[in-house]
A = this chain, B = another copy of it.
Amino acid sequence: MHGEALKVGELARRTGLTVRTLHHYDEIGLLKPSLHTEGAHRLYTATDVARLQLVLSLRQLGFSLEEVRACLDRPGFSPLEVIRLHVARLREQIELQRELCERLEALAGCFHPAAEVSAEAFFQTIEVMHMIENYYTPEQLEYFKKRREEGGAALEERARQVQALWAELMEAYRVEMEKGTDPADPRAQELEKRRQALVNEFTGGNPEIEQSLKRMWEEQGEKFAAQFGYDPKALEYMRKVNEAAKGSA
């Protein structure tokens, strides 16, 4: 008796699906049992089970129920074509997710591994990341990425050092400013030289990157200051020192 046709529960148990799923496939016309008992209980024949196997196969390959139905109901669809399309879609998704992963890791890399990170700092960092992505061209960002990858741990360490040096430098600016040192004064111009050295290290001498960086600082310097805790007034002073340097050149 049991070799003839299966009831939903039976079929569900054998396939590992749920009864609800089979009901659903019936509802949407993907797999309608060929038979019913007098009391309207579903009876799945061997043919139905075979079709279900196909459904499961295609589902495993990541097709939507709609696509599965299209494949099964349109005789003479092109399997290879379908697969190629599907692979292409998958590749795109994977690429997007990979990029997302990279961004997230870059974000995480901005903080000390074990440090407590405030929501404040977190969001500011995100903002800065967005800014960076807005000010540099895709090619320049690509170049940065490559440099990071090739530089390895040593470059990462140096990046931390540079960040510290920047903080020191900004503090030095602040001190001179408080002392009332004239922007054209050699003591201030000494700071300008240190600044240019750091900038050069970052840009690698590439004038386009320097351009982008400059524009970003000019337009968004305050945000950086906020992000890293620099004194905005020191930032202003730094700009004046830079002006003075250009004026004397």
Residue positions of A touching B, CB distance < 8 A = 53-54, 57-58, 61-62, 71, 75-80, 83-84, 86-87, 90-91, 93-94, 97-98, 100-101, 103-105, 107-108, 111, 113, 115-119, 121-123, 126-127, 130
CB distance from A188 to the nearest CB of B (A): 36
Q: Which of the residues B58, B91, B113 comes within 8 Å of A101, measured between beta carbons?
A: B91
Known contacts A57-B127, A126-B57; is-contact A104 B79 (Cβ 8 Å): no
Do the beta carbons of A79 and B122 come within 8 Å of each other?
A: yes
Q: List B contacts of A83 (CB < 8 A).
A: 104, 107-108
Pick the residue among B62, B103, B115, B118 that contacts A61 (CB under 8 A). B103
| Residues on the B chain within 8 Å of A117, using CB | 78-80
Q: A101: nearest residue on chain B (CB-CB)?
A: B90
Contact status A76-B119, CB under 8 Å: yes
CB distance from A105 to the nearest CB of B (A): 6
- Within the complex, the shortest CB–CB distance from A98 to chain B, in Å, comes to 6
Sample (6) of A-B pairs whose CB atoms are under 8 Å apart: A54-B126, A57-B123, A78-B117, A87-B101, A90-B104, A91-B101
* B residues in contact with A77, CB < 8 Å: 119
Closest Cβ of chain B to A56, distance in Å, is: 9
Nearest B residue (CB) for A83:
B108
- The docked-state distance in angstroms from the alpha carbon of A126 to that of B55 is 11
With A62-B100, A83-B107, A86-B104 given, name 18 new contacts (CB 8 A): A57-B123, A57-B126, A57-B130, A58-B126, A61-B100, A61-B104, A71-B119, A79-B111, A79-B121, A79-B122, A80-B108, A80-B111, A80-B117, A83-B108, A87-B101, A87-B104, A90-B100, A94-B94
Q: How far is the CB of A225 from chain B (nearest CB, A)?
A: 18
**For the complex, what is the distance from the CA of A105 to the CA of B58, rounded to whole Å?**
14
Closest residue of chain B to A115 (Cβ to Cβ) is B80
Chain B residues with CB below 8 A from A94, complex form = 94, 97-98, 101
User: A126–B103 Cα gap in the complex (Å)?
Assistant: 37
Give complex CA distance A36, B118 in Å. 32
CB distance from A84 to the nearest CB of B (A): 7
